[in-house]
Structure 1
Amino acid sequence: MAWALVFSGQGGQHPGMLPWLGEDALTRSVDARLGVADWRASLSDADWGARNAHAQCLLTGLALAAWSQLAPLLPPPAAIAGYSVGELAAFSAAGVFDATTALDLAQARAAAMDRCAAQAPGGLLGLSQCAPAVLERLLTDSTLAIAIRNGIDSVVLGGPPTALARAETAAVAAGAHATLLRVAVASHTPAMQPAAAAFAERLASLPLARPHTPLFSNAADRVASTEQARHALAAQIATTVRWDECMDNLQARGVGRVLEIGAGQALARLWNQRHPGVPARAADEFRSVEAIAAWLMRT
């Protein structure tokens, strides 16, 4: 059965994530890069885990460690995509660069975004059950932008903390569900343009390979060349993550199942809401790699 592989973004990291993940060279590399003895123990401090510099490296490395331990049990996926920072793991899984490069890029990406945030503090506000007319009213505040689009009534806004607080109050009053995310950066908004430019410079001289698996981007649809890969990875830092379109692109490949690798089950839930005829599950739900493989291979 054809299946799609998706990699989570940040926000759902927790000490018990990926309970089946064994220690290997990649997990040890994550510990070393973050200067900790045990990433699970470190995640017991929620503030530590929420820091951009920790989360981006951690999630990229653990996702790729999980994939390397799972891949030998499975046929290749029919398509791959990643959500926000999850694109680094997705591009690596598709063969654009190796895991070490992915970790280097995760640290560079986080540092560039943190430099932007130091100059212009920001954050993210998740909205669901938000009518289009309500969203339109919220966006009359020019300091806010749509950072992530998950569906017609499910988006994430980015902007300055004061503007997000006003938007939260107004959205709840209009009947929407609003949640301030544990992120101190207005990711995927024009405020991150200097970070996108810095990351583009980093990518410009980096040797990349063409994807060996159909790969879909948050910012540029299908990625089939090294130049498209460079553009997509930099552009998504400062432009809207179009996850609704990513899901539709994957579904159009005729996949029969979708596996999310990362922290939590957010992408699996979004998929099941949008494409209920094609089941999705998160690797975080399972207790062993064998159980994941058995589910994916079930006819």
Structure 2
Amino acid sequence: MSFALLFSGQGNQHPAMLPWLADDATVRGMCARLGVGDWRQALADAGWAERNDNAQTLLTSLALAAWGQLAPKVPPPAAVAGYSVGELAAFSAAGVIDPAAAAALAPRRAEAMDRCAAESPGGLVAVTGLAGQALEQLRSDAGLELAIRNGDASVVLGGPVDALDSAERMAVAAGAQCTRLRVNVASHTRWMREAAESFSQTLADVPFLAPRALLFSNTGDRVRDASAARAALAAQIAQTVRWDECMENISARQVRCVLEIGPGQALARMWNQRYPTVPARACDDFRSAAAVAAWLNSHAEQ
């Protein structure tokens, strides 16, 4: 059996996400940490849902809970990766850090990033339809950085708010499509450098182990040991997420199917567009954990 496990980032969180998720100790601990009684009701408030500290804390714990409830029903994954904050849950699923430690690290990560954002307010904008020199010219003219690379003509740019506004106008004029993401920090850019350094200090006190499964970081590299894992988890806060390379690395392992854990279907959709012969589904597509496991088992065994 061979399947890859992908953990979503933030931006697509919604009240109906993971409809099958049971209310377990991880979920209850998350609610206590966030000071809410019902996380779905809390997500209905768009302002609350888009706050960086709320989103990172919630998405990490829900991903950990979802995998914790699925793992007994399926064999271990052949490869694991996480998109942006999804790396916390991914590193836990690969056996690098304890689930409780991963959950506790999420608000610390958000806190470090929010301190940077308070000094330099920023955000992210997704741009599709521009590639090569045209994309680089847009990035340079707007004064932004490449935050996430999903493909040659599908990227996310990050930087100050005014620069994002300029980039949107220029991109639309050039015939591209733009979507401002529901985040209020310039993740994965130089504006988060102090946050990466602060989080690195936080991670120094956390026990790390070598991964039990093939684990790929957002920097596009395979994580082979505890030291590399600790460095990668901090560095990605201020470095480009090379998600296209993560997908290439996973595809090279010839997995039979891919499962996305988190809100929405963004990662599954990207995978299916890039590798149509290897099916990918998102946990949001299913109504029960048993149904997720049945799909995964049926495809991974083919």
TM range (shorter): over 0.9
Q: Which amino acid counterpart does residue 155 of structure 1 have in structure 2? A: V
SS of the aligned residue for 1:281 comes to: strand
Aligned equivalent of 1:171: 171
Gap runs ≥5 in structure 2: none
Alignment of 1:160-199 (within 5 A): 160-199=160-199
Report the CA distance between 1:202 and its aligned residue.
Answer: 0.8
Aligned equivalent of 2:5: 5
Q: Which amino acid counterpart does residue 108 of structure 1 have in structure 2? A: R
For the Cα contact (< 8 Å) 2:220–2:245, is it kept in 1? no
Q: Which amino acid counterpart does residue 124 of structure 1 have in structure 2? A: L
Q: CA RMSD in A?
A: 1.0
Question: Cα deviations across residues 152-190 of structure 1 (Å, max 9, x unaligned)?
Answer: 100000011111111111111111110111111000001
Aligned equivalent of 1:84: 84
Aligned equivalent of 1:54: 54
Mapped to 1, the partners of 2:3 and 2:101 lie a distance apart of: 26
Aligned equivalent of 2:247: 247
Structure 1 position 43 matched with structure 2 position 46: no
Q: State which drifts further: 140-149 or 53-62.
A: 140-149
For the Cα contact (< 8 Å) 1:200–1:234, is it kept in 2? yes
SS of the aligned residue for 1:54 comes to: helix
Aligned equivalent of 1:135: 135
Aligned equivalent of 1:261: 261
Aligned equivalent of 1:288: 288
Mapped to 2, the partners of 1:220 and 1:266 lie a distance apart of: 19
Gap runs ≥5 in structure 1: none
Any runs of at least 4 consecutive aligned residues in structure 1 with deviations exceeding 4 A, and if so which?
none
Q: State which drifts further: 127-136 or 8-17.
A: 127-136
Aligned equivalent of 2:155: 155
Mapped to 1, the partners of 2:131 and 2:62 lie a distance apart of: 36
Report the CA distance between 1:293 and its aligned residue.
Answer: 1.2
Identity within the alignment, %: 63
Q: TM-score, normalised by structure 1?
A: 0.98
Aligned equivalent of 2:68: 68
SS of the aligned residue for 1:159 comes to: strand
Equivalences, count? 299
Q: Which amino acid counterpart does residue 154 of structure 2 have in structure 1? A: S
Report the CA distance between 1:203 and its aligned residue.
Answer: 1.0
SS of the aligned residue for 1:150 comes to: strand
For the Cα contact (< 8 Å) 2:142–2:166, is it kept in 1? no
SS of the aligned residue for 2:21 comes to: coil
Report the CA distance between 1:220 and its aligned residue.
Answer: 5.0
SS of the aligned residue for 1:241 comes to: coil
SS of the aligned residue for 2:246 comes to: helix
For the Cα contact (< 8 Å) 1:123–1:184, is it kept in 2? yes
Mapped to 1, the partners of 2:278 and 2:259 lie a distance apart of: 11
Aligned equivalent of 2:23: 23
Mapped to 1, the partners of 2:278 and 2:291 lie a distance apart of: 19
Q: TM-score, normalised by structure 2?
A: 0.97
